[in-house]
Structure 1
């Protein structure tokens, strides 16, 4: 409702306006009380509403129908798709899956371990007052619907302000995630985009990388076009990343077959005008090393928003040329020319992201306990986040942890640009 100056109206008309405004607020509250939650285990029945809601620029691509369908098709976890409606209107969908741990049963966003930001799916015309009422009703409704199967609901990695739109669940209690995500706005042209950064230094690094790769016989920037090329590059990424994780003594989050099948399913989807679930980019050598790929980056696009999902480099050849940095230079330049407006390096605070990005987006975790065990799980979650944030804020402690990781590194390996 637009603002109106009541002092400029006749008294009777002003009173009617005030009365109507109060009645509208009362209707919003009453409507929020009429919120009806249903839980679905199949995506098919929700597809039409789902695709309508995901069209909003404020909705993360990680909650898109095709993204979630690919995860569901390659994983055996039980789906808990929460639909909130008032009358015939679908207000929101929370696409959750049930994960059973040793102690707790957690309902979380589908595929959350491999998402960079989560929003859920919400109608764009929800009134702010209704949002507050919906958020307060949601806790009780979720407890009533899910407490028999889940101990806790975790809505993690949520930006409370995304694309200039406050999230409808901002009034719920939340803890700041230990990691932010990092973005680079893409301006009218690549020169203007680089001007936000240290453009001179950025171009110099690009030329140095080119000269070093020229010494190996030259290179080409590759975008995988055919299904076979996508499969080959993606399989090579899994190999390169396994070597990297082993060198650092870290668990390989890409090693299980279900996760690899998920990304292969995304890569098989052809691009459209609206976006592409997974695009494979690479730096491929020429000369004596003809055909050898030394850097890979996987990207997802929704509208004019591009997210880097993951990247890797060849640890044994050309690492000193910073091929990952070179690859990002080519990728960002291309997307800038194609009219994209935001390049997102995803979640995780790393030096190479800060060197490229001018925007840091704070993300938050909403943790809703449904049972007594859920309260214990929520306390454990908050404690873990608190410890991680504390370590990262203390430069000496964080540096010590990083040195421990580096100490596990095998001789001859080098830092990648895209970890």
Structure 2
């Protein structure tokens, strides 16, 4: 295990005329008396990592059990940033190094399949606000030689009422937003946020269609069912991507292996789960057929739908994907969940369920001269994608062209979401 350190000198607290001014300076001194270290492995940080991730608002995607399978499978070089104050860990940013077109990018571990990233911060550090310019400069210095550009993708600058300490870093708004359904005091009240009458009418219509064909059941996969259901998802999703003319971001063996590992990382004494498979399964006339699958992650009171798929060969008129969401949301409402997160990406079904949209940003921190150029290019790419997506006619044309070319785009770089 190798580490690099970068110290920031503490700032002396000057005597002031008022106690209030002195308190401000003391907070500043605490905030800047920070040591930055870069770790190339996860194990030395496990205890303090797990302590920080207990924060309910810290993203599951920076949890130890989420990050470990990605590192075990992809084996990319790691550059895990730990900031400490007085020997106590203030924050951890779990980064890996990805080489692409001659540029070394430091990104959150597994970022290509993350829906939200926050980093991990202590309560003490959170109370002090944003990273200071001195701390940012120290982080850049510590990463020098390891990366050209740090890209922290899909970071909400404010999340559930809390401002991100990363908000002071240079940022560009991500072209995609995330969509959430807050759970209120009752299921009925929660539904009223998205037109309860229409929702219930649709649910009854879907149920009648499937009941006429023999019925259905909501399956929460047991340990011996999880892997087969995940493999079925890969097949269903591959079909959907091919029909849409899009590259299959789940097709590569390392990604599939990592997701299988995540299925095994679940606390038996807790409702939390890194990945749990759900499905709608038909009974009766089409016994055993699975027309809809979803994978959920849970950390505290936050549930994320990581991915979902449908099979329209049977009963497409019943909108099985939407029906599965109803069943999952209804169940989770009884289990103390506060927020159901449909994840990043603008889809009509998400808008139909979600009264809340969360804007996310990509934070760009150049390390080298090459990184400064890459950051400028990255901003341009993101702005272009945003412009295209905001023009529905142009975006529809691009989607049609993709469908025509089909597998011609299958070899495209999929490290970035569209």
TM-score, scaled to structure 1? 0.89
1:43 corresponds to 2:39: no
| CA distance in structure 2 between the partners assigned to 1:186 and 1:301 by the alignment | 14
1:354-386 deviations in Å (ceiling 9; x for gaps) = 100011111011100111110111011101110
| CA distance in structure 1 between the partners assigned to 2:304 and 2:166 by the alignment | 23
| CA distance in structure 2 between the partners assigned to 1:327 and 1:405 by the alignment | 29
1:197 counterpart SS class: coil
Determine if contact 1:244/1:315 at 8 Å carries over to the other structure.
no
Q: Which residue of 1 aligns with 2:240?
A: 244
1:295-321 deviations in Å (ceiling 9; x for gaps) = 001000111111000000113222222
Determine if contact 2:278/2:295 at 8 Å carries over to the other structure.
yes
1:177 counterpart SS class: strand
The alpha carbon displacement at 1:175 in A equals 0.8
Matches within 5 A, 1:196-215: 196-215=193-212
The alpha carbon displacement at 1:152 in A equals 0.2
Aligned CA distance change for structure 1 residues 87 and 278 (closer, same or farther; 3 Å): same
1:353 corresponds to 2:370: no
1:311 counterpart SS class: strand
TM-score, scaled to structure 2? 0.90
Aligned CA distance change for structure 1 residues 18 and 57 (closer, same or farther; 3 Å): farther
1:27 corresponds to 2:26: yes
Determine if contact 2:389/2:395 at 8 Å carries over to the other structure.
yes
Q: RMSD over aligned Cα, in angstroms?
A: 1.8
| CA distance in structure 1 between the partners assigned to 2:45 and 2:265 by the alignment | 21
| CA distance in structure 2 between the partners assigned to 1:398 and 1:344 by the alignment | 25
Q: Which residue of 2 aligns with 1:181?
A: 178
Determine if contact 2:169/2:365 at 8 Å carries over to the other structure.
no
1:58 counterpart SS class: coil
The alpha carbon displacement at 1:221 in A equals 1.0
Gap runs ≥5 in structure 2: 1-14, 408-418
The alpha carbon displacement at 1:47 in A equals 1.0
Q: Which residue of 1 aligns with 2:162?
A: 165
The alpha carbon displacement at 1:17 in A equals 9.2
**Which of 253, 259, 264 is the matching residue for 2:255?**
259
Determine if contact 2:206/2:323 at 8 Å carries over to the other structure.
yes
**Which of 147, 150, 169 is the matching residue for 2:147?**
150
Structure number with greater Rg is 1
Aligned CA distance change for structure 1 residues 204 and 80 (closer, same or farther; 3 Å): same
| CA distance in structure 2 between the partners assigned to 1:243 and 1:255 by the alignment | 11
How many residues of Structure 1 are paired with residues of Structure 2 in the alignment? 392
| CA distance in structure 1 between the partners assigned to 2:342 and 2:405 by the alignment | 26
| CA distance in structure 2 between the partners assigned to 1:408 and 1:323 by the alignment | 28
Gap runs ≥5 in structure 1: 1-15, 411-419
| CA distance in structure 2 between the partners assigned to 1:182 and 1:104 by the alignment | 32
